[in-house]
Structure 1
Amino acid sequence: MSEYSWNFWFTLPIYPYGQRRTLRREVVRDRLWTFDQLQGIFYVVVPIRMTVVKLDAGGLLVYAPIAPTGECLRLLHELVADHGPVRYIIHPTVSGLEHKVFVGPFARACPQAQVYIAPQQWSFPLNLPLSWLGLPGDRTRVIPDEPSQLPFADQCALEVLGPINLGTGWFGEVALYDRPSRSLLLTDSLIAIPEDPPAIVQLDSFPLLFHAKDSPFDRVEDTPENRRKGWKRICLFASYFRPSVLETAPWGQVIRDAFKVGDRSRKNYFGLYPFQWTDDWQRSFEALRGNGRPLVAPVLQQLILNRAPQETLDWVERVSQWHCDRLISAHFQSPISITKEQFCQAFAFLKSQDLWTPAPLPNIDLQLLAEIDQVLCDRGIVPPSKLSR
């Protein structure tokens, strides 16, 4: 068995399944580190990130655990040898199964750690009991209404967003601020899109080159330019599901073309490639990236945070009082240089806008998410948006 093996991949059967590489990066010398792994569907792969904070009182705090593979634990134990054991594990989301599924196994690998979870836990598509996910009952606590009561509160401040009622479930997120390093840790609520694929994504070039194709018959050379091309398209998929610059060929044609493709292996999805990108597809990526500015992911904008705009803005106001030098998100780019003004501006879409206020993202690219939102509202699955436009 390799040190990259993740034996419980079947609990969340998405790429890269049972083999997960881990990359550790020291963000603040002898104080803060990130651990990156990879996850995705249909080769739409993005980083999933854990952050480890050194505690002044001794030991380590882990925020948003990832799969505890042999490699991941080896890299963690190197820090433990220098700084002491993992004393606290923070599970900072409510509905994110892609984060929750790792908490129990990670906690079992760190037997001295107390586990703190965001309130109102819920999972989709199955609302699994926490015990089914392996969280240790004797060491697991819900983050209290007054996070200042937590044993590490002298060093790390917490602010809880939500839980936001989504009708069939809940959304929530815990922001953590490490005072000594002046670092803000978030999970899903804020991201930044890098122009080049992150290092963890570059370890496996196949997804990048797969999405760099313009037709199922292309043989794409492994070059930095083609890796970047594939990455940009992956970002559009991950952000919008179906951006306006993407068209899909009729499935009859897709299947006929698949029989003509040289590589019809399972890895190459049997030659199936339904994607057709318009000539100006890069304009959508540039609008999304916005020169690397922090932004709220389109899915959260269109389907989640618009259900509780004032509650979210109140949370933004509280978090913005922290004096941050950097933001570490659990996905895409990290670290992100950020100012208080940039942090608040990212959530400006939650404020009432008149007709002359430009949208932060092109409405044409948000069309599919808007349609999904409307269908969910019409069927009474989610409450209506509270945003006025």
Structure 2
Amino acid sequence: MAAAIAVSSPKSSLLQNSASFRDQSSSFLDGQFKGLSLQLKPARGGRSKNRGASTSLVVASAAADAAAVSNKKSGRFYLNFTGFPFPLGPFLERRTIRTEAVKGSIWLFEQEQALGFSSVSTNIRMTVIKLKSGGLWVHAPIAPTKECIQLVKELGAPVEYIVLPTFAYEHKIFVGPFSRKFPKARIWVAPRQWSWPLNLPLEFFGVFRAKTLKDQDSSTPWADEIEQKVLSSPEVGIGPYVEVAFYHKKTRTLLVTDAVIFVPRKPPECISAESLLASAKNGLAVKILSKGKEVPQEPVIDNPMNRQKGWERMVLQILFLGPSNLLEPNASFSQMSQKLIVSPIVKTLVFSKVPEKVRDWIDSIARDWRFKRIIPAHFAAPINAGRSDFLAAFAFLDDLLGERYVTRPSFSLLFTSLLGKAASYFPPDDMKTLSSLDQFLVSVGAVKKTVSGRKRRWNWA
């Protein structure tokens, strides 16, 4: 489930500040070329003396740049070999990218997250909000590398609260180590925490003296600035699905963990070129999912086309586990990117099992919070999207619950219904593996069957 949750309105204008990939070694190479330019300039006033000085400049420039890169990378060291059944990579080094989502108010911190020893990666995001007190409110901490902690400290404000908004291992694992970097911060966690195959207490993960987040709790120290709504459903399967949504009133921003995603056309900046190129190679998974076509074995050259292919393959494996065709991923990728959606895995294995509770949760969010942007914990953010876009992503619940929009109070909500049908559509061929997995898990009792549904009418504008 970690990989799945590590886990888009169809117009690209929904996406704001989309990440673009860049060559991570460019600063080092630029420094080398600057040194070489000094060496190649014609010397004046003598050969031997200036040639030696030029060579020294070249060596000094290259050595200085190499040292700078080495020092920067040393700040990215983080050892992690834990996680069942697959440990979460990268195992030794994690780069942190910080962006300002709302000037002076909200910052996003992203790192790469890989599934075990595979070439499948995505980004994992921590969101930091500056409160009126001047302190920081940290949502879903990431690995506390030296680089990450330095980027937090550069905001010039103390960390007051650390929030774990879900039960998911990929977010839980970093709360304890992150909190030890800010020992004065208070920790709040989503209710009904659990782990599998052993249901270990939070203390095992290094999380101590944590308070529990409650639904629509007005007693939290940030309640006048940030509101919260809890989705807690015990009926999913081996454990409950728990996620807490937050609304920052000042900036009209909705924060979720895994409820919705927006797959960007280009890979997030934090994903390394090495990971993208490894995914672009035609390995065993590509052969299995090639639909019988011949799979070429030529070496993968580092260029934008191969990096893009690697990203598209990563996305399809994250969303579908076994997509229909990894050899030529573009068609399926195009259908899944650049729009607000519920991840196929979350939709199939979680939300379709408890549609009543999910519907009540999202209706409450859309009714009470007039957000204009959404920040999830994975893929693109911030997303320029409002209530209609959010409801459209959950249009699949209508069929599960037997709902019909017979009393729509406005044209915008009717449009939401039509838009939602398109946003909820996933390529049937790509869904086959996931559907088979769902049937198997139901047969062995690991997850529940989808409920029969209920009749209901809309009662809000």
TM-score by length of 1: 0.84
Match of 2:110 among 36, 50, 53: 36
Aligned match of 1:111: 183
User: Would you say 1:284 and 2:326 are equivalent positions?
Assistant: no
Classify the secondary structure of the residue corresponding to 2:123.
strand
Provide the residue aligned with 1:16 in structure 2: 90
Contact 2:356 2:453 in 1 (8 A): no
Structure 1 residue 325 displacement after superposition: 2.0
CA contact (8 A) 1:62 1:88 kept: yes
Aligned to 1:61: 137
2:281 corresponding residue in structure 1: 213
Once the two structures are superposed, what CA deviation does each residue of 1:30-60 show, in whole Å capped at 9, x if it has no partner? 1100000011121111000000000012200
Displacement, 1:156? Answer: 0.3
Distance in 2 between residues matched to 1:164 and 1:301, nearest whole Å: 16
Q: CA, structure 1 residues 230+57, in 2 after alignment: closer, same or farther (shift >3 Å)? A: same
Q: Partner of 2:213 in structure 1?
A: 143
Q: Give me the identity figure in percent.
A: 40
Which amino acid letter does the alignment assign opposite residue 207 of structure 1?
A: S
In structure 2, how many angstroms separate the alpha carbons of the residues matched to 1:220 and 1:97?
33
Counterpart in 1 of 2:399?
A: 352
Name the CA distance, whole Å, in 2 between partners of 1:325 and 1:70.
Answer: 33
Aligned partner of 2:450 among 368, 371, 385: 385
* 1:5 has 2:77 as partner: yes
* Aligned residue type for 1:329: P
Normalized per residue, the structure richer in helix is 2
Aligned to 2:34: none
Deviations, residues 128-164 of structure 1 (Å, cap 9, x unaligned): 2111101122xx1011244221110000011111134
The match for 2:225 is: 155
User: What is the letter of the counterpart of residue 274 of structure 2?
Assistant: F
Q: Please report how far the alpha carbon of residue 194 of structure 1 lies from its aligned counterpart in structure 2 after TM superposition.
A: 0.7
Name 2:350's counterpart in structure 1: 304
**Counterpart residue identity of residue 104, structure 2:** D
- CA offset digits 1:257-296 (Å, max 9, x no partner): xxxxxxxxxxxxxxxxxxxx2x5x321111222xx11100
Q: Quote the residue 1:225 is aligned against.
A: 305
CA distance in 2, matches of 1:162, 1:128: 19
- SS state at 1:221 partner: coil
Cα distance 1:327–1:88, how it changes in 2: closer, same or farther (>3 A)?
same
Change in 2 beyond 3 A, CA 1:216/1:86: farther
**2:168 maps to 1:85:** no
Question: C-alpha separation between the residues in 2 aligned to 1:387 and 1:173?
Answer: 24
**8 Å CA contact 2:340, 2:393 repeated in 1:** yes
**Does structure 1 retain, via aligned residues, the 8 Å contact 2:260–2:376?**
yes
Q: Does 1:324 align with 2:371?
A: yes
Query: Once the two structures are superposed, what CA deviation does each residue of 1:56-108 show, in whole Å capped at 9, x if it has no partner?
Result: 122000000001111110101111x2xx31111110002x1010000111111
Q: Distance in 2 between matches of 1:124 and 1:342?
A: 34
Q: Which has the higher contact order (CA 8 A, sep 6+)?
A: 2
C-alpha displacement of 1:381:
2.0
**Contact 1:48–1:66 (CA<8 Å) still a contact in 2?**
yes
Query: 1:49 aligned to 2:125?
Result: yes
Aligned residue type for 1:374: Q
| Correspondence for 1:333 among 380, 387, 401 | 380
**What's the secondary structure of 2:340's corresponding residue?**
coil
Indicate conservation of the 8 Å contact 1:107/1:136, yes or no: no
Partner of 2:440: 375
Q: Report if the CA contact (8 A) 1:176-1:185 is conserved.
A: yes
- AA aligned opposite 1:39: Q
More strand by share: 1
1:265 alignment partner in structure 2 = none
Contact 1:97 1:124 in 2 (8 A): no
CA contact (8 A) 1:15 1:43 kept: no
Name the stretch that deviates more: 191-200 or 378-387: 378-387
Per mean C-alpha deviation after superposition, the further-off stretch among 220-229 and 296-305 is: 220-229
Q: Is 1:99–2:99 an aligned residue pair?
A: no
Name the CA distance, whole Å, in 2 between partners of 1:382 and 1:25. Answer: 38
CA distance in 1, matches of 2:349, 2:302: 37
Instruction: Measure the CA separation in 1 of the matches of 2:300 and 2:446.
Output: 43
Change (3 A) 1:341 1:110: same
1:369 to 1:388, Cα distance in 2 relative to 1, 3 A: farther
Alignment of 1:176-215 (within 5 A): 176-201=246-271, 204-214=272-282, 215=295
Q: What is the CA–CA distance in structure 2 between the aligned matches of 1:216 and 1:160, rounded to whole Å?
A: 49
CA drift of 1:360 comes to 1.5
Name the TM-score, length of structure 2 as normaliser.
Answer: 0.72
Q: Answer whether contact 2:165 2:243 (CA < 8 A) is retained.
A: yes
Query: Among 147, 153, 167, which residue is 1:71 paired with?
Result: 147
Q: Does the 8 A contact of 1:63 with 1:89 survive in 2? A: yes
Aligned pairs, how many?
345
The alpha carbon displacement at 1:216 in A equals 7.2
Task: From the superposition, tell whether residues 222 and 181 of structure 1 become closer, same or farther in structure 2 (CA, over 3 Å).
Answer: same
How far off is 1:351 after superposition? 1.5
1:351–1:387 contact (8 Å) kept in structure 2: no
Given that 1:37 and 1:47 are in contact with CA atoms closer than 8 Å, whether structure 2 keeps it comes out as yes
Q: Distance in 2 between matches of 1:57 and 1:320?
A: 28
Query: Hey, what's the Cα distance between the residues in 1 that align with 2:298 and 2:183?
Result: 50
CA contact 2:216–2:230 (8 Å) conserved in 1: no
Residue identity matched to 1:304: V
